[in-house]
Structures are given as C-alpha cells and as structure tokens.
A and B are shown apart, each in its own frame.
Chain A
Amino acid sequence: MSTFDRRRIQAPESSSAPAYQQENDAGPSRAPTAPGDISDHPVLKTGLINQANGSAYIESGSVKIACSVYGPRPKAPPFTPRGSLNLELKFAPFASHPRRAPMRDTEPAALSALLTQLILPSLHLHLLPKSSVDVFLMVLESDDVSDLLGAAHTVATAAIADAGIAMSGLGVGTVVRGQEGEAEEGGKGAPASSVTLGVLPALNKVTNVWMTGVQDIDAVCDMIDQGVVSAKATHTVLAQALLEGAEQRGL
C-alpha cells in the first residue's frame, strides 16, 4: 500500500465524475479542440487577492488560473544589478483528470521555466536592482498544456501590471492548433501540432515561441502569423480588464 503522503486523507483509488443531465448547463468546462481553432476570448479580473501587491484571475476555455504578484521586494545576496523574476506555477490536485498527487505532480518545473521565458522580455527589471518580483500561479482547472501556457502568460501579465511593476507592454499568450497529420499505413497520424506564442501586440513583438507536435515549416510560420493576429483580440480583453480594475481602485 503506497501511502506516500501521510498528512492527508487519501482520495479513493478510483472515482467517477458525477453524471449530468444533458439539458443542464452545469458540468466541467469544454475546451475548443477542433483543428485550426484559436483560444476563446478569456474572462479576466484583477485585484481579487488583497494581500498581494497585484493579482489577477482568468478563465479561458477550460483553463482557470489565479495569479498573485509580490514585489518589488528585497532579495537576499548575491548582488544583482537587475531585478530577478521568480515564477512558480502550481496545480491544484483537482485541476486535471485524473487527480494529481499533492507535492509530487503539482509543481512542474518545466512549465514554470517556460512561462518565465515567455514573460521575462517584457519586464523592465533593470529598474529594480537588488530586488525580486515573485509571481505565483495556481491552476484551478486545466487539461491542455498549450492552452494553459497561453492563459498563464495573459494572467501573469495582468497581475504584474496590477502591481504597478514597469513593463515594455502588455504580453498576451495565444495558442494556435494545426491540423492532425496524414495517417500512415496501419499507424496513427502525426500528432496534432500546436504553437504557443508570447506576443506584445502594442509593440508588434513576439517574446517566445513554443511548439509541440509535427508540422511543416511553412505551416508553422502561418500559425505564428495567425497567433500574432489573434493575440490582438486577447490584448483587447486584457486592456479592458486592467482599465476596469484601475478605475475600481480609484486611480
């Protein structure tokens, strides 16, 4: 019996989701999975976590993330002439299906590193010597990693802007999905590809590109262009949410 975690009451080994009636609106969120789809327009709100310097919450498709930002605050030695960004992405155990084990599956280091690379180019860290900006993301629901990164980028930007930390521009994340590849004889087709972009629409710049799957170069370039265009829509939603949050704070 593998009782890896003795501090908690373990969830049952197997469980099934409750069955909903068809006509009821309630139920788990559904993600857009048709090929060529671009992420749905997200819903964003800032300022929900009072004890943090800045915070934001996003619901985009089937992804729900809460983000809080602390900073700029003093950092221990070694001396850094520029500020440092510490970003931590954590999953709630109930965030995906099947359930994640606490402490073991809930803190993927690779995703935190990827998201740091998406956000870093847009921050003015040279204005914050010897200080650190700490960004904490808690994923409440997510089934797809690409969707997750795009939404996480947008919500982290919202929270950092809410905290009043200087940035070159508002960075948004977008995901573009490609067609599934041709099926070879007797085997499965190439895995469906997706391109996750970090875009600064106000400056027409891309901060980072992350691609999964198999796809032709020309198709990938098209997907990147498509992503840059769709980022503008997300940017509008983000700008609207930040303006509402600023007015609510009485700026």
Chain B
Amino acid sequence: MASTSTAQPILLPGQPLPLNLTRAPLPQCGKGCYEANGRILASVIGRPRRDGATVSVIGREEAGVVPEIGTTVIGTMTRLTPQQAHMTISIVDDRPVQESGAGDEFGGVVRIADIRLTERDKIKMGECFRLGDVVKAKVLSLGDARSYYLSTAANELGVVYGTSEAGNALLPVSYQEMEDAVTGRVEKRKVAKPEGV
C-alpha cells in the first residue's frame, strides 16, 4: 500500500519526493518536506510516506522537537496563581524536548478560562492543579517570550500524575477527583482521562 514507509528509499534534503507519492491530486506538505516551483522536496533525511492528502518525510526518531500550535505537550507545574498555571514543557507529541546549554526551557501557561469547558466562572485553581503535577495539555498559540499558551479543556487533557499531600502517588478516579494510592484520601484535580479507558 502507498502508506507503508519501509519500502521507500531514504531521501536527503533538497531531493524531490518520488513520483508515485506525488501523483495528482497534488498532496499537501506535511512534516519534513516543502514545496518549491511546483515540486515537493524533502527537507530532512528520511523516508517519505503519503497519508491520504498529506505527504511527509519521516526522519530520525530522536530528532529535536519544538511545540507547535495543535500539538499535545506534557509538562510539570512550576507556579500557580489564581489566574494562571505555569509549567515547563518536557515532552512534545511523545518526543522529549532537548536540554538547553544555559538551562533555558520551553514554558507553558494555562489560563483559568482554558482549564475546562464547563462552569468556567466557578473554577478554583487549587482544585485543578497543584505544584509538581504532571499535566497533559494542548498548545493554543506561541504566546510570549517565556511561555506558550496551553489549554486543558478536553477530556483527555489535564493531570496525568500527581503527588498527594501525604506524599504518595495519586490515581485517577473521575474527571475531577484523584485518590491517594496508599491512604485512599480523595483530592480534587482536573484529571486527564487515561488512555484505553
């Protein structure tokens, strides 16, 4: 099938994609390739593949990644205010962010109105996130110099892992409750729906 990538040859930057993948109707450029003079050329070293109307070049798995609008990021809460929750992003679309030499990090901020879709005027930050929570969020925009703007307003977004006040792991119970794995005490969070549930 045209969507398998194992049979395709490795392309180098500047090399045009093979004709069998760029047959009419001309596909859109996905990751790893770009359009120039009516042809689609690869921009990274990798194998091309076509998924429906989009063609892309799959490069190295360990290549560095940068948050883009619409990507899913996972990060750790570092600072909470009544209006915003700040976090440092460590994973983008299942790939780790590269460490910076000077210790700079990609920051993200979840504004109070973007935490959830229902009852947005009655949200209390302390019942959604706590310091040190590992949170899955979606990138809304590039934001400012320090942080991307993120949103957790979806079922599968929110706290993935947290530590209870007693210091034990928290396990998800419902969309707004997590329970201490050892003592069983329930704490309120904006919980992400676990995968496969």
Contacts and interface: CB of A to CB of B under 8 A. Distances in A.
Contacts of A131: 66
B112 interface: no
A173 to B, nearest CB: 16
B142 A129 contact: yes
B64 interface: yes
B34 A134 contact: no
Given A74-B97, A130-B145, A164 B63 contact: yes
Nearest to B148: A130
Q: Is the interface of B mostly helix, strand, loop or mixed?
A: loop
Contacts of A71: 64, 98
B13 A251 contact: no
A124 interface: yes
A223 B62 CA distance: 41
A75 B63 contact: no
A182 interface: no
Contacts of A231: none
B142 A168 contact: no
B66 A246 contact: no
Nearest to A127: B66
Interface string A63-91: 00000001111111111010100000000
A242 interface: yes
Contact of B100 (A75, A127, A166): A75
A163 interface: yes
Given A74-B106, A200-B14, A247-B10, A166 B44 contact: yes
A78 B145 contact: yes
A71 B45 CA distance: 16
B156 interface: no
A169 interface: yes
A239 interface: yes
Interface residues of B, number: 34
A76 B98 contact: no
B14 A170 contact: yes
B59 interface: yes
A202 interface: yes
Interface in B161-189: none
A10 B102 CA distance: 31
Which 7 A-B residue pairs are closest in the complex by CB-CB distance?
A169-B14, A164-B63, A202-B14, A77-B145, A79-B145, A73-B98, A166-B43
Given A166-B13, A168-B41, 17 more contacts: A53-B64, A70-B101, A71-B98, A72-B65, A72-B66, A73-B97, A74-B98, A74-B105, A124-B34, A129-B142, A164-B45, A164-B46, A164-B62, A165-B64, A167-B13, A202-B13, A242-B12
Interface of B: 10, 12-15, 32, 34, 36, 41, 43-47, 59-60, 62-66, 97-102, 104-106, 142, 144-146
22 contacts: A53-B63, A70-B101, A72-B65, A73-B98, A73-B104, A77-B145, A78-B145, A164-B62, A164-B64, A165-B63, A166-B13, A166-B34, A166-B43, A168-B34, A168-B36, A169-B41, A170-B13, A202-B15, A202-B41, A243-B10, A251-B45, A251-B59
